[in-house]
Amino acid sequence: MKRIMALTAGIAVFLLAALPASAHVTIWPNEVEQGAYVVFTVRVPSEKEGTETTAVRVVFPEAVNITRFEPKPGWTVEFERNADQVITEVSWTAEPGHGLDVTEFAEFRMSGRVLPDADTESLLVWKAYQTYADGSVVEWIGAPDTDSPTPAPAIAVVPGNPADDGHGHGAGTQASASSSASSAKEDGSFDVLNLVMIIVSWSLSITAFTLSLVLLLQNRRKQRSAK
């Protein structure tokens, strides 16, 4: 029995060790159409031991016009405008007791429109800055799709649908509705959490099954001995 328990624990430790060591700040959906109205989701995992994420600042690409922000309990939101009163960046700051621990992540949502003339040959690059309680700041501004340890969040642009009425009844609605499902498969932070939970569940299930099997065999031996 001890050997079986040790083997089960070893498998769980091996699988956990194979998980990615870190996750990145990302923005979803990962693809949008020209001219589409979209709900964008900024996903922020906290990664530093011994301190909390207390603020997140995001600078928008010029080809996106953000106009609204979803309220998030425990966080205050502030944004900057340029001379034309266009919102160019946003900052979310945690209220006391609402910072993100190393085992946590948070999602911040905002809505806006991708400009009709957004370049389909280039990515929409968002610069993100993650502030921790110890005063350190991680700048997620590295080149996307590279080996940079801190890549900037980026979104691809595809040609707009001529049949769309320009009010997001096409790509924007579909993108916001499917962003959680697609990001659950492609975003490392969310996958890591889910995978850890699955592995732990499997390990517990295997352990419970092993114990049940051992007890069943012991009961049968006792019954045979009694006869």
pLDDT digits (tens, 9 = 90+) for 70-129: 999 999 999 999 999 999 999 999 999 999 999 999 999 999 999 999 999 999 999 999
Q: For the chain, which residues make up each domain, given as ranges? A: 2-15+195-226, 24-178
173 contacts: CB under 8 Å, gap ≥ 6? 37
pTM, full prediction: 0.66
**Structure tokens given for 200:** 């732990």
Q: Which residues pair with 112 in a beta bridge?
A: 38, 66
Class of CATH domain 24-178: mainly beta
Cβ neighbourhood burial of 66 (10 Å; 0-12, 13-18, 19+):
buried
Higher-scoring residue by pLDDT: 9, 214: 214
d(CA 110, CA 139): 21
Place of tokens 């979310």: 92
